[in-house]
Amino acid sequence: MHTYSIPLETSCGQSYSPAMGSFCHLRSRCLLSQFGLPFVMHRQYSLDISAQLLRTQGYVNGQWINAPSTFPVLDPATGEEIANVADCGPAEAKLAVDAAYKAFYSWKHHTVKERSVLLRKWYDLLTLNKKDLAKLITFECGKPMKESLGEIAYAAGFLEWFSEEARRVYGDVVPSAAKDRKILLLKQPVGVASIITPWNFPSAMITRKVGAALAAGCTVVVKPAEDTPLSALALAELASQAGIPAGVFNVVPCSREKTPSVGTVLCTDPLVGKVSFTGSTATGKILLKHAADTVKRVSMELGGHAPFIVFDSADVDKAVTGAMNSKFRNSGQTCVCSNRFLVQSRIHDHFIEKLGKAMDAELRLGHGSDPNTTQGPLINVRASEKVEHQVMDAVSRGAKVLRGGKRLDGSFHQPTLLADVTTDMLCTREETFGPLLPVIRFNTEEEALAIANASHVGLAGYLFSQDVSQIWRVAENLEVGMVGVNEGLLSTPEASFGGVKQSGLGREGSKYGIEEYLDVKYMCFGGLTL
């Protein structure tokens, strides 16, 4: 068994414990992880970006606004404070909704080409400022810089895509059964959209929703996650530079304590016509109840518990690469990360052996600003403790730890490989959101499908096979909204993103994403002499 248990020491000479509440500066000791890189930060890391993009106020009606109080944003790798951000409450949220509602009546009358041009300018500015935007993600979210740069490219891609889709919102002319009338179906924007986004993709989850909304002619109020508001505020600065009119794009950051009251305003105000949320299934259900009182349009991208199935016919090297990409991107903190790895008996041992070697060779823990880092921290200590709890539960039920297995100081956790996993273990029954890879052995295709579908959620699923008939059977029978076939990374602006069961409602991205922000109006043009 390979383990990576590494004590960290603070600059004040104390070992870190969760009870301390925050980190001091980390300084190096003679400590190496089994992954082959020093784990302790050898130097202090500073956020060095354009002052224009480091915004800490709310953004409402084209103006930067203060709030009565502020809340700290922390670097999850060190626990150090990055900035203090305006802690907007219900009053500021209401101001933003009112501003968006007023702006809607002019924005919806912009021609589709005018909206398209502005979205394209916003895209260009994201691309121009990609390094600074990526640094923000790394410092407030913990991602390695390579992944943060990838997220900015992904985020910008949605603005580019929807700048083009804005000009392709087509209605219909339907043949009528009556000779004296014409039937027209028009598409019109739903109005103000409340956009509530998560911390794990602090830029891309905004542009995926907002790009579609603005292209359709809607205006928006964004409530970013309390852990990662700086990326949202930087996007607001660039939206302003792009010429997006005042009131069309608004951002109300708030602390964890004020999130319920701000969320209530955004989901219940009668001026809001649409709510779009990405986050946990439990929170999504609460927001659905709030939105139900005023019968708002709702789209939800909620929790996942993705199966990753490797059949005997699979190319094992490709399956290992897919597993590494699917599991360890953002340290396992994506909603489409594979959670349950099902490997058929004949290739089970070979797959695990190669996977363990890949983990040894490719995974490096550290601060995301270090170019050698491939695995950053989890978002907070609670997230690391959850992974630790799942590992302990699995081991207590007979699982074997082949790599990792330990929670490190602060919010770091070792990438962990478990074998002899069974379906009664906690890691196979609930989403992990961390670098834990549990492998379940199976014998038949029917058995694999039964295990894969034994979940109340169904966002993404993956399968590796070279049997074309089997690929079709399994892909069609997996109860998920997205399937990766011989591929571990499937997200792209051109394709629809969304799940089934309790993984959500509606779709984002693709030509279908803009439909979430449009109403269909039927116009009967009668009394014609034809």
* Cα–Cα distance for residue pair 357/218, rounded to 1 Å: 50
Show the CA angle centred on residue 106, arms to residues 116 and 265, nearest 5°.
Answer: 100
From the centroid of its chain, how far is CA 468? 31
> 154 exposed, middle or buried (CB, 10 Å; 0-12, 13-18, 19+)?
middle
b (16+ CB within 10 A) / e for 28-50: eeeeebbbebbbbbeeebebebe
Amino acid code (one letter) for 29 = R
- In sequence order, the β-bridge partners of residue 309 are 342, 463
Rounded to whole angstroms, the Cα distance separating 418 from 352 reads 9
* Beta bridge partner(s), residue 504: 301
CA-CA distance, 359 to 344, in Å (whole number)? Answer: 21
Q: Is 301 a catalytic residue?
A: yes
Distance separating alpha carbons of residues 495 and 487, to the nearest angstrom = 15
The catalytically annotated residue of 88, 254, 267, 335 is 335
430 phi, psi to nearest 5 deg: -140, 150
Reference 387, options 365, 363, 406; nearest CA is 406
Q: Which two tokens stand for residue 204?
A: 């891309």
CA–CA distance, 106 with 222 (Å, rounded to integer): 19
* Length of the chain counted residue by residue: 530
Distance CA 335, CA 151 (A): 14
CA distance 15 to 7: 7
Considering 165, 301, 445, 515, which one is annotated as catalytic? Answer: 301
Q: What tokens appear for 286 in the block? A: 């609460």
Q: How far apart are CA 137 and CA 47, in angstroms?
A: 10
In this structure, are residues 484 and 323 in contact, taking their beta carbons and an 8 Å threshold? no
Alpha helices, H only, 41-196: 90-107, 112-128, 130-141, 145-165
483-508 b/e (C-beta count within 10 Å ≥ 16 → b): bbbbebebbebeeebbbebbbbbbbb
Q: Does 335 participate in catalysis according to the annotation?
A: yes
**3-class DSSP assignment, residue 59:** strand
Question: Which residues are tagged catalytic?
Answer: 301, 335
